[in-house]
């Protein structure tokens, strides 16, 4: 950019018309303004990325604290309610029961206009199958800690998930996994599935 200024200020070389412009007509001043805007956006992106890191650290601390409280509750309530075994039996589990990990199922995903992902998956043959979950994160990589449950299916429901999760804007990308969930709480996820919404849609004339 600084060399461009010097060229414009000097004598024009043979066959060159000053001031120089880029293909399309962009001038040095327009380029400088665009670069300044890019630098501001880059600084803002770095600030937002740091905010995400700090927010995740705070979230993780809350999760750790909550787990400790729930574990203490789970350990003390059974003895306090020894005369009410039915209530104890209905307490939700904090961790999965001992048992095997299921085999993950194969799955595939495609984008469908205007803003939908369609995921199909194979059936699990595990005798302890409870159901399936579709989980996802925004971005081109699946992040286990940030994944949210998008939808759930019972064992006998059609093996297809259709969702608008994360695809509200052109160019958006999401990463998905289909999880097999057993009655013990043990689970296994499929390979990550990347879905991209095109940045633009080309309309063809009839």
DSSP 1-70: -HHHHHHHHSPPPTT-PSSP--TTS--HHHHHHHHHHHHHHHHHHHHHHHHHHHHHHHHHHHHHHHHHHH
Per-residue confidence at 97, pLDDT binned at 50, 70, 90? confident
pLDDT digits (tens, 9 = 90+) for 27-36: 999 999 999 9
| Residue 177 near residue 119, CB atoms below 8 Å | no
Nearest to 107 by CA among 169, 204, 15, 193: 193
User: Is the predicted pLDDT of residue 199 greater than 90, yes or no?
Assistant: no
pLDDT at site 13: 86
Nearest to 124 by CA among 192, 183, 194: 183
Per-residue confidence at 93, pLDDT binned at 50, 70, 90? confident
pLDDT at site 203: 43
Per-residue confidence at 94, pLDDT binned at 50, 70, 90? confident
Distances (CA, A) of 22 to 19, 51, 87, 190, 205: 10, 37, 75, 48, 32
Nearest to 168 by CA among 145, 148, 146, 138: 138
Handedness of CA 177, 178, 181, 186 (dihedral sign): negative
CA distance 116 to 193: 14
Residues of the chain above pLDDT 90, percent = 83
> Can you tell me the mean pLDDT for 128-138?
97
- In sequence order, the 6+-apart residues with CB closer than 8 A to the CB of 140 are 173, 175, 194
User: Is the predicted pLDDT of residue 109 greater than 50, yes or no?
Assistant: yes
pLDDT at site 27: 95
CA distance 175 to 159: 18
User: Is the predicted pLDDT of residue 205 greater than 80, yes or no?
Assistant: no
Please tell me which of 17-26, 155-164, 195-204 the model is most confident about, judged by mean pLDDT. 155-164
Computed over every residue of the chain, the mean pLDDT equals: 92
Nearest to 115 by CA among 163, 186, 167, 182: 167
- Ranges of each domain in the chain: 1-95, 107-196
User: Domain 107-196: which CATH class?
Assistant: mainly beta
> Can you tell me the mean pLDDT for 93-111?
93
């Amino acid at each position: 950019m600084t060399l461009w200024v010097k060229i414009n200020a000097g004598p024009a070389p043979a066959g060159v018309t000053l001031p120089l412009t880029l293909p399309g007509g962009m001038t040095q001043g327009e380029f400088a303004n665009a670069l300044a805007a890019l630098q501001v956006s880059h600084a803002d992106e770095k600030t937002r990325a740091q905010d995400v890191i700090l927010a995740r650290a705070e979230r993780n601390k809350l999760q750790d604290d909550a787990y400790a409280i729930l574990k203490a509750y789970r350990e003390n309530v059974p003895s306090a309610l020894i005369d009410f075994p039915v209530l104890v039996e209905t307490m939700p589990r904090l961790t999965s029961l001992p048992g095997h990990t299921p085999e993950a199922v194969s799955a595939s995903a495609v984008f469908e206009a205007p803003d939908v992902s369609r995921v199909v998956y194979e059936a699990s043959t595990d005798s302890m199958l409870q159901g399936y979950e579709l989980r996802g994160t925004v971005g081109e990589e699946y992040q286990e800690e940030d994944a949210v449950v998008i939808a759930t299916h019972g064992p006998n429901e059609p093996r297809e998930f259709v969702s608008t999760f994360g695809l509200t804007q052109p160019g958006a990308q999401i990463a998905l996994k289909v999880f097999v969930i057993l009655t013990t709480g043990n689970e296994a996820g499929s390979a990550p599935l990347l879905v991209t919404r095109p940045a633009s849609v080309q309309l063809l004339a009839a």
